[in-house]
Amino acid sequence: MAVLADSDTRWKWGALTARRLAPRATIDGLLLRGRATPTPRQLAEVGVTVESLREVTTGEFLAAATEPGAYDVIVLATVGGAVQAMLHGLGRAVTGTGPAATGPGPARRPVIVTGYVGVVYEKLTDGLLLRHGADVVLANSPYDAERFRTVYEGVGADPGGVVTCALPFLAGPPAEGNTPVAASASGSATGSAEAASGPATGSAPVSASGDVDNGRFTVVFAVQPSVPASRADRAYLLRRAAAHALRHPERDVLIKLRSKPGEHTTHIEEEPYQKLVRKLPGGTGPDGGLPANCRLVYGNMGELLDRVRRTGGLLVTVSSTAALESLHRGVPTAVLTDLGVREALGNHYFTGSGCLASWDELDDGHLPEADEKWALRQGVRGDDGFAAARERVAALAARAAADGLPPLMPYYTVRTAPGYLPGILRRYGLAPDGTPLPGTAVQDTGRGRGLMRRVVREAARGAYRHGVQRVAPLIRKAGEL
């Protein structure tokens, strides 16, 4: 079994999904080289172990995926455009499959599974059609499954691949992974080297003061890289978290960060909280003006939520998938309304949940209670959500081994989307017929050349991140003058 992922959150979803689909399978991790390829620290924070893990290009992935007998199942845990490109590339590479291939008959190819990392609140139609053609498109709840099928049926695409499941981190025992690590305003982690470099087993989470969990009521504010987007809105939320800590000195307020400055996640973070915290006035702690009972932290979200549950605490967010993890654990969960309930923020997804609240209400002691009917429909309550998906994938894998599977037939082809599909494929080094573009290497050849390419890639990534987080905000600011 293989998992292809292009960011830290998608790696988490893909690897955990693979484990839920086939608990005893050997899993190879393939990280698609690009803007958001996760760093070793990000991979360690996820805390998911697999048999092997390496970076690949599109060509290297296609070569590995189509090697005879290599994989029975492949999970595509990538952005929609990459899923579409890999479907066309696989369809062309496997003899007898794909809209551009010459042979229309069944072939012994891997079962292709894809889906969404979390809450689907934007670009529903676009994202779904980019994923169409996979053997299985996982929907994280009955609500999502209904929406997915409606979209496919509406454009005349086969909805048979949609299978209802659950987010893979919402079931089973509490997540295991890194001890949450306190972060300084400069973005560097503080704490033990073991906690910073890899999963810690058997150790308690650190408290806001850096000590072992002391049982104090804990508030975790799960921030997001791009929601809200503006500096003013992000600074406002940071001020309110700090103010909540000041108003409730008996509580620990942990601001859970997604990445360090310079690292990238699924979404680009142009205004990191590690930088905004330096501008906070007052405060008695060392973290750029935060009160003593308020800290920036990294770490495994599952362990943080287990701490919140132990202390009778609270999870606060704008629209992070962490809200679903929190609700699954029975933790009071607040989805902030301070900046409005808007599609652009994603918190509109939680209408009817009973979780919408403002910082003012939380300051006054409000602990939201989730609506059970809403929670059941959204897949955060109930039994094992992967039973149907396991059964479907097992049946397809048996069919593939016996008689082969039918061609991969994505909705988008050069006939249905001639002005859209070629650009997507080109972005991933493929021609309109799904073949690798001339000059696209399948793998690095030669030790020296491979080393040089890695150096160039890292330099390019650094320049890109510098442009996103430093140059672009300055240009926008100049334009507002």
Mean pLDDT of all residues in 122-148: 96
Question: 137 with 114: CB under 8 angstroms?
Answer: yes
Contacts of residue 176, defined as CB under 8 A and 6 or more positions apart, other chains included, come to: 47, 199, 201, 300, 302, 303
pLDDT tens column, 329-365? 999 999 999 999 999 999 999 999 999 999 999 999 9
What percentage of residues in the chain have a pLDDT greater than 70? 77
Mean pLDDT of all residues in 25-30: 96
Residue type, 149: R
**Cis peptide, bond prior to residue 228, ω within 30 of zero:** yes
Mean pLDDT of all residues in 112-134: 94
pLDDT at site 239: 95
Can you read off the two tokens belonging to residue 10? 């998608």
Length of the chain: 481
Tell me the residue ranges of DSSP E strands in 243-318. 252-256, 294-298, 314-317
- Rounded to whole angstroms, how far apart are CA atoms 468 and 473? 8
pLDDT tens column, 367-395? 999 999 999 999 887 667 899 999 999 99
H helices within 281-348, ranges in order? 301-310, 322-328
Q: How confident is the model at residue 185 (pLDDT cuts 50, 70, 90)?
A: low
CA triple 392-397-403, angle to 5 deg:
120
Mean pLDDT of all residues in 291-307: 92
pLDDT at site 446: 45
pLDDT at site 270: 77
This prediction has a pTM of 0.81
Question: 408 with 97: CB under 8 angstroms?
Answer: yes
Can you read off the two tokens belonging to residue 368? 């939201």
Q: Match 């994202």 to its residue by tokens.
A: 127
